[in-house]
Amino acid sequence: MSVTDRVPAARVTLPICALMLCVFAWWAVVTTFAIPTFLLPSPVAVAAHLADNPKLFVVNAMVTFERIVVGGAVGIVSGFCLGILVARILWFRRALMPYLVTLRVLPTIAVAPLLLIYYGTGFTTGVIFVALITFFPMVVSTVAGFSTVPSEYRSLLESVDAGAQNAFFHVRLPSALPDVFAGLKQSVTLAVIGAVVAEWVVATSGLGTVILLASEQVQPALMLAAVAILFVEGLTLYGAVTAVQRRVVWNE
């Protein structure tokens, strides 16, 4: 059975219909109450900005997307690896887990000025910021997944005297995948947010910069056009993670 066969049509059509309804309601409110463009532009005005200067949005969207993918990959992979170590080594968990939880609740934006001092503005600084914001959710979710292997699985491993490598790849990893993917979804979402915040503080290009400049120049239509592209990028990444999850997780 293919992935598309396993996904009910309503899961696709209902969100699309809801989005179309929201856009129509937006247009209806702006038109009915004659709201000025500088307060709330109509969807038509936003679409016009996208059509009038596509190069502006394509170039900055690619910069933001690259920052999301590179920074997110660094944060997610390193968080996953550290999470495995913390889950598997008891003394390592006792030594680091309190600090990991504390760092998770620390606002990541607080370190942006330090990154600006150490690395200046540019692509690398934004990547580091995105990696930091995606790192901690991935660590915590990975630790949770590998720490909750069902007792019957552990008993089965002991009864057949399975080696560590077989136990990891055939039992522990598949059992932990639901929690790992939960952390991955959260990290992907935060990567989009982190990229925008990084572009506000430590970058000179990207959709976040477009939004910031549009705000300073009081151009809400331009701002909403950039937000719409960010929405598409975030939805695409989240959908890709969900599609992979449906293929590899046991209970999907």
pLDDT of residue 117: 82
| Tokens 């942006």, residue located | 112
Three-point CA angle 24, 29, 34, nearest 5°: 130
Residue 78 pLDDT: 95
What is the residue type of 198? A
User: Which among 183, 179, 184, 167 has a CA at the least distance from the CA of 88?
Assistant: 167
Q: What is the pTM of this model?
A: 0.84
Closest C-alpha to 229, from 55, 15, 18, 6: 55
Q: How many CA atoms lie within 13 A of 230 on its CB side?
A: 25
CATH, range 43-248: 1.10.3720.10
User: How would you class 90 by CB atoms within 10 Å of its CB: exposed for 0-12, middle for 13-18, buried for 19 or more?
Assistant: exposed
- Can you give the pLDDT at residue 4? 44
Q: Write the single-letter amino acid at 123.
A: F
Q: Which residues contact 40 (CB under 8 A, 6 or more apart)?
A: 29, 30, 220
- What is the reported pLDDT for 29? 93
Per-residue pLDDT tens digits for 164-199? 666 676 677 888 899 999 999 999 999 999 999 888
Q: What is the pLDDT of residue 152?
A: 64
Return the pLDDT at 252.
46
Tokens standing for residue 2:
């293919």
Q: Rounded CA gap, 246 and 248, in Å?
A: 6
Q: What is the pLDDT along the chain (252 residues), one digit of tens a residue?
A: 444 445 566 677 888 899 899 999 999 999 999 888 888 899 999 999 899 889 999 999 999 999 999 999 999 999 999 999 988 888 888 888 788 777 777 777 778 778 888 888 778 888 999 999 999 889 989 998 888 776 666 666 656 655 566 667 667 788 889 999 999 999 999 999 999 988 888 777 899 999 999 988 889 999 999 999 999 999 999 999 999 998 888 654
Domain ranges of the chain: 1-35, 43-248
Question: 67 with 200: CB under 8 angstroms?
Answer: no
Q: What does the buried/exposed string (b/e) look like for 132-156 if buried means 16 or more CB atoms within 10 Å of the residue's CB?
A: bbbbbbbbbbbbbbbeebeeeeeee
